[in-house]
Structures are given as C-alpha cells and as structure tokens.
Amino acid sequence: MKCHRVNELIELLHPEWQKEPELNLMEMIGKLAAEAGYEGKLEDLTDDVLIYHLKMRNSNKDEMIPGLAKDCEDDFKTAILRARGIIS
C-alpha cells in the first residue's frame, strides 16, 4: 500500500473509530468489512474496500460512488457517442 493510501485510510477511519472507541482495530475493520458486504478472510480484505466503504458509509443510498460520478452521463445517446470518440 502506498503512503498516500495509508494516510487516506487513517483519515477516513479516525472519525468513524472515535464514534466506537470501545472497539479494537481488528473489531473495527471486521465491522466495516461486514457492513460493506465482504465475506472473505480479513487478511484478503483490500484497502480499496475499506476506503470506498468509509467514503460512502454515511452517504445517501442513492448517491453515486466517488470516482464514478465524474464519468456518469445522464443521457444514453451522449454516453455512446462519447465512448465511440465522436464527441469529447
């Protein structure tokens, strides 16, 4: 994991962990993984799962995932034309 990803994960985790200070780190990570729907072993859990879950944890269910919203097209025709390189 790159240094900036460690910093991002800590920055996102800190306020959420403060809400439940009685949990140890592994309990908090396990709770976040379960909330995100992750069913594998914790040692296989990627930082991406935690980062995206923490970013979306307190958002509206209809809100788009950060990073995808910038590429979203409201109109199917525009999306096809942009994908084919006809418009930019």
* Whole-angstrom distance, CA of residue 52 vs CA of residue 2: 16
What pLDDT does residue 66 have?
67
**Tokens at 28, concatenated:** 């908090």
Tens digit of each residue's pLDDT (9 = 90 or more) over 12-48: 999 999 999 999 999 999 999 999 999 999 999 999 9
Helix ranges (DSSP H) in 19-85: 25-35, 47-56, 76-83
Domains of the chain as residue ranges with CATH: 3-83 (1.10.1580.20)
Q: Would you say the pTM of this structure is higher than 0.85? A: no
Residue 3's H or E segment, with its range, is helix 3-18
Indicate the angle between helix axes 47-56 and 3-18, nearest 10 degrees.
50
Please choose, from the candidates 31, 36, 29, 30, the residue with its C-alpha nearest in 3D space to the C-alpha of residue 53. Answer: 36
Tens digit of each residue's pLDDT (9 = 90 or more) over 38-85: 999 999 999 999 998 998 888 877 777 766 766 777 788 888 888 888
Give yes or no for a contact between 13 and 50, defined as CB atoms under 8 angstroms apart: yes
